Amino acid sequence: MLRINRVRTRGRYSAKVLHVEKMLNTLHRFWLHVLLLHALMANISGEDCFSNQKLPDRLSFLGTKLDLSHCNITRLHTTTFQKYLNLQVLDLSYNALEELDFSVFQFHTVLQKLDISHNKLRTINCTTLQYIRGVTHLNMSYNHFETTFLCKEFATLRNLKHLGLNVTKIERYDFMSIAHQKLETVFLGLEYLQQYESGSLQLLNSKMLHVVLPQTLTDSALLLYDDFNITTTLEISNIQCEETCNDMIRHINMVIQKSKVSKLILSNIKMSWPEISKILQISWRSTVEHLSIYMFILVKEFDYLHIDFSEGSLKSLTIENVIPQVFLHGSYKHPLNIFSEMFVENLTISNAEITHLPCPPRPNIFRSLILSNNKITDEIFAQCVTLANIQFLSFQNNILDRLSYVTSMTSTMKSLKHLDVSGNRLYCDFSTRCEWSQSLLVLNISRNKITDSIFNCLPPNLEVLDLSNNQLSSVNKEIGNLKALKELYLSLNQLSHIPDCSHLSKNLMYLNIDENLIHSPSKEQLTNCQNVEKILAGKNKYQCNCELKPFIGTAEILHENLIGWPQSFMCEYPEELKGVILRDFYPSEISCNVFILIGIIVGTLVVLLIIMFFLCKHFDLPWYIRMIFQWLRRKYKVRNSYHDEIMTGKRFHAFISYSQEDSEWVKNSLIPNLEKGDNSIKICHHERDFIPGKTIVENIINCIEKSFKSIFVLSPNFIQSEWCHYELYFAQHSLFGKNSDNLILILLDSIPQYLIPNKYSKLKAIMKHRTYMEWPKEKGKHGLFWANLREAIQTNNPLEGEEVSLFN
Ligand SMILES: *[C@@H]1O[C@H](CO)[C@@H](O)[C@H](O)[C@H]1NC(C)=O
Ligand SMILES: *[C@@H]1O[C@H](CO)[C@@H](O)[C@H](O)[C@H]1NC(C)=O
Average pLDDT (398-427) is 94
Query: For 792, phi and psi rounded to 5 degrees?
Result: -65, -35
Q: How far is the CA of 369 from the centre of ligand 1 (A)?
A: 10
- Averaged pLDDT score across all residues of the chain: 80
Higher pLDDT: 125 or 442? It is: 442
How confident is the model at residue 213, as a pLDDT? Answer: 85
pLDDT tens string 133-142? 889 999 999 9
| Cβ-contact 299, 270 below 8 angstroms | yes
pLDDT at 249 over 60: yes
Average pLDDT (180-186) is 90
Answer whether 392 contacts ligand 1 (Cβ < 6 A).
Answer: yes
Which of 283, 291, 346, 390 gets mutated to test ligand 1 (max ligand atoms within 8 A of its CB)?
346
Answer whether 489 contacts ligand 2 (Cβ < 6 A).
Answer: yes
The architecture of the domain spanning 649-793 is 3-Layer(aba) Sandwich (3.40)
The ligand minimizing its distance to the Cα of 398 is: 2
pLDDT at 16 over 60: no
Least-confidence region, from 251-255, 476-480, 753-757: 753-757
| 346: alpha, beta or left? (left if phi > 0; alpha if psi -120 to 50) | beta
| Cβ-contact 270, 295 below 8 angstroms | no
Q: How far apart are CA 85 and CA 768, in angstroms?
A: 106
pLDDT at 679 over 70: no
| Ligand 1 atom at minimal distance to the Cα of residue 368 | 2
How confident is the model at residue 32, as a pLDDT? Answer: 38
The ligand minimizing its distance to the Cα of 365 is: 1
Percent of the chain with pLDDT over 90: 27
How confident is the model at residue 790, as a pLDDT? Answer: 81
| Cβ-contact 137, 114 below 8 angstroms | yes
| 27 — pLDDT class (breaks 50, 70, 90) | very low
How confident is the model at residue 534, as a pLDDT? Answer: 93
Residue nearest to atom 1 of ligand 1 (CA): 346
| 796 — pLDDT class (breaks 50, 70, 90) | low
pLDDT at 85 over 60: yes
| Cβ-contact 133, 158 below 8 angstroms | yes
| Ligand 1 atom at minimal distance to the Cα of residue 345 | 1
The ligand minimizing its distance to the Cα of 288 is: 1
Give the best-scoring range by mean pLDDT among 523-537, 700-714, 760-774.
Answer: 523-537
pLDDT at 512 over 50: yes
Least-confidence region, from 351-355, 524-528, 536-540, 595-599: 595-599
pLDDT at 539 over 70: yes
Q: How far apart are CA 771 and CA 3, in angstroms?
A: 59
pTM above 0.85, yes or no: no
| Cβ-contact 285, 313 below 8 angstroms | yes
pLDDT at 738 over 80: no
Answer whether 422 contacts ligand 2 (Cβ < 6 A).
Answer: yes
3-state per-residue secondary structure call for 457-526: CCCCCCCEEECCCCCCCCCCHHHHHCCCCCEEECCCCCCCCCCCHHHCCCCCCEEECCCCCCCCCCHHHH
Higher pLDDT: 123 or 499? It is: 499
How confident is the model at residue 461, as a pLDDT? Answer: 93
| 9 — pLDDT class (breaks 50, 70, 90) | very low
Nearest one of 448, 454, 443 to 488, comparing CA atoms: 443
The ligand minimizing its distance to the Cα of 372 is: 2
pLDDT at 574 over 80: yes
pLDDT tens string 645-654? 444 567 788 8
What dihedral do alpha carbons 453, 457, 459, 465 form, nearest 10°? 0
Q: How far is the CA of 774 from the centre of ligand 2 (A)?
A: 92
How confident is the model at residue 257, as a pLDDT? Answer: 81
Q: Is the peptide bond before 460 cis (omega within 30 degrees of 0)?
A: no
Average pLDDT (535-548) is 90
How many angstroms separate the Cα of 682 from the Cα of each of 534, 634, 664, 673?
97, 19, 19, 11
Average pLDDT (681-694) is 76
Strand partners, 162: 137, 185
Helix pair angle (246-258, 273-284), 10° resolution: 20
| Ligand 1 atom at minimal distance to the Cα of residue 290 | 13
Nearest one of 135, 145, 183 to 167, comparing CA atoms: 145
Every domain of the chain and the residues it spans: 1-43, 594-640, 649-793
Q: How far is the CA of 368 from the centre of ligand 1 (A)?
A: 6
Give the best-scoring range by mean pLDDT among 11-25, 87-101, 772-786.
Answer: 87-101
Least-confidence region, from 44-53, 91-100, 331-340, 767-776: 44-53
| 109 — pLDDT class (breaks 50, 70, 90) | confident
Answer whether 346 contacts ligand 1 (Cβ < 6 A).
Answer: yes
Higher pLDDT: 108 or 148? It is: 108
Which of 422, 487, 509, 511 gets mutated to test ligand 2 (max ligand atoms within 8 A of its CB)?
422
Q: How far apart are CA 462 and CA 218, in angstroms?
A: 58
pLDDT at 724 over 70: no
Strands, DSSP E only, in 331-424? 346-350, 368-370, 392-394, 418-420
